[in-house]
Amino acid sequence: MASVSSQPQFRYTQPPSKVLHLRNLPWECTEEELIELGKPFGKVVNTKCNVGANRNQAFIEFADLNQAIAMISYYASSSEPAQVRGKTVYLQYSNRQEIVNNKTSADVAGNVLLVTIEGADARLVSIDVLHLVFSAFGFVHKITTFEKTAGFQVYKFNSAPLWFLLMGSSTSKHEFVLYLCQALVQFSDSETASAAKNALDGRSIPRYLLPEHLGPCTLRITFSAHTDLSVKFQSHRSRDYTNPYLPVASSAIDGSGQFSMGFDGRKVEPESNVLLASIENMQYAVTLDVLHMVFSAFGPIQKIAMFDKNGGVQALIQYPDVQTAVVAKEALEGHCIYDGGFCKLHISYSRHTDLSIKVNNDRSRDYTSPVLSSQPSVLGQQPVPIPGPSTHQFEGAQYAPPSDQQVMHQPSAGWATSAAAAGAPPPPPQSMPMQQHNHPYMPPGTMPPQSVPGMMPMQTQTGLPQSAAMPPYSH
DNA sequence: AGCACA
């Protein structure tokens, strides 16, 4: 008794409203069907369909309250119930006075599409590929691309039909997108844009349009509220295909031609047979021979050149082929030559393909040229001093690591030191065990297999292979 | 079959 009166939402009569609440509608009832139903009683100014958990409720808003009253009154006394597609629908005044249509621009057809490119390699999709894809549906006027951080994105598949999930949508439930690669694609009219949207939304960019190594890139398309994009320059970010005389942004000019342009004008580093290795947190001297040993685990090394840059040491390592370099890069990137996060390698592809080694010495070597004059007076003689403000000098076998303070002040090569974040143990105590002091190059606990997984060849307990002191290639 | 949802 009390429970009935405390449930006002179920009361039989409600205060009139020009908004009517409809329930028991057929699945996916359209706006047109709602207008058709209300039209005999007045002007329907707004509707909202597919409401509620079952999406079988709707609202109709009339221009005038009397029109809503007319409709309710009619069906209240009619022997024929209100019907949509032969299904009886139940009407009542809504408890709201107007329909709040949270219709976003994404639902309103326009001539500009908002395209989101999904996939691990979304950033590598160039604006030219997008242009090609969308040009299939009509003249593409303009394209702008941008990247948006979107936090974690969770895809809702609960309303997607099963066939959609089975048709090979590349979107994985485990894939969390931290950034969104988006583009605005402008057509001349909303009809063309709608055609492109209908055909492409949820589909993947054809593989043959993408660089070979790219994973699937899926397009999610909605309408944008834009009608005319503002493109100031032709660039890797934006294009205006209606104005070929638009100035080209200087950033779009890459004379080297070495880089392929990815999404958002991002430079994509091309693979190379020459690796550029930078050494972070270089507490211990890394010599050319050490580098040779580390990198030769993946294939023969043709040339190595070391040089100082940004207060750190970098090296170019040349393999005979790109494949070997790729494998070496993948295996070594981020790993430390020495235990404890010391001498962490950062590897990128060099733009070089063939190093020019003039002379064999402690900083450069050409292993392919036996006639190149080496300089035995330099080669393998002195330990390599650690670059930077440290004034510590190494003399013969009198190796000692720099103190912690010196290390702290040692300039890094430009990236954030991540050894600590990677769980590396703190720097070794200053009183280091010196049982290996006969090897000035190598700190204790040097190069265990786990520091560079799966590669350390011919590791001996005495630490350094013979080649480190006198490589077999040298003459 | 019973009031939207960012």
Mean pLDDT within A152-181? 44
Q: What is the pLDDT of residue A261?
A: 60
Provide the 8-state DSSP code for A248: B
| pLDDT band at A44; cut points 50, 70, 90 | very high
CB A118 within 8 A of CB A204: no
Q: Does the nearest atom of strand B lie within 7 Å of A100's Cβ?
A: yes
| pLDDT band at A71; cut points 50, 70, 90 | very high
Amino acid at A340: G
pLDDT of residue A192 exceeding 80, the answer is yes
B6 C1' to A308 CA distance, Å: 56
Covered bases, chain B (protein CB within 7 Å): 1-6
State percent of chain A over pLDDT 70. 66
Residue nearest to nucleotide B6 (CA to C1'): A102
Q: What is the pLDDT of residue A275?
A: 96
Closest nucleotide (C1' vs CA) to A52 is: B4
Q: Does the nearest atom of strand B lie within 7 Å of A66's Cβ?
A: no
Among the residue ranges A28-32, A284-288, A375-379, A437-441, the one predicted with the least confidence is A437-441
Sheet containing strand A44-51, strands side by side: A44-51, A57-62, A19-23, A90-93
For the whole model, what pTM was predicted?
A: 0.42
B5 C1' to A144 CA distance, Å: 32
Among the residue ranges A129-133, A352-356, A429-433, the one predicted with the least confidence is A429-433
Among the residue ranges A70-84, A348-362, A450-464, the one predicted with the least confidence is A450-464
Q: What is the pLDDT of residue A475?
A: 31
Q: What is the pLDDT of residue A157?
A: 41
Give Cα separations from A327 to A298, A365, A448, A455, A468 (angstroms). 7, 22, 20, 11, 23
Closest nucleotide (C1' vs CA) to A104 is: B6
Q: Does the nearest atom of strand B lie within 7 Å of A101's Cβ?
A: yes
Closest nucleotide (C1' vs CA) to A98 is: B4
Among the residue ranges A186-200, A258-272, A343-357, the one predicted with the least confidence is A258-272
Mean pLDDT within A110-128? 93
pLDDT of residue A291 exceeding 70, the answer is yes
Q: Does the nearest atom of strand B lie within 7 Å of A93's Cβ?
A: yes
Highest mean pLDDT among A1-5, A218-222, A252-256, A338-342: A218-222
Mean pLDDT within A140-162? 63
CB A61 within 8 A of CB A98: yes
B6 C1' to A220 CA distance, Å: 20
Q: What is the pLDDT of residue A253?
A: 64
pLDDT of residue A6 exceeding 70, the answer is no
pLDDT of residue A74 exceeding 50, the answer is yes
Nearest to A178 by CA among A125, A124, A122: A122
pLDDT of residue A447 exceeding 90, the answer is no
Q: Does the nearest atom of strand B lie within 7 Å of A48's Cβ?
A: yes
Residue nearest to nucleotide B5 (CA to C1'): A102
Backbone angles phi, psi at A169, to 5 degrees: -60, 135
Q: Give the C-alpha separation, A343 to A412, whole Å.
A: 11
B2 C1' to A70 CA distance, Å: 21
Q: What is the pLDDT of residue A150?
A: 60
Chain A residues 456-475 within 7 Å (CB) of strand B = none
Q: Does the nearest atom of strand B lie within 7 Å of A188's Cβ?
A: no
B3 C1' to A71 CA distance, Å: 18
Chain A residues 284-303 within 7 Å (CB) of strand B = none
Mean pLDDT within A409-418? 35
Chain A residues 11-40 within 7 Å (CB) of strand B = 12, 14, 19, 21, 23-24
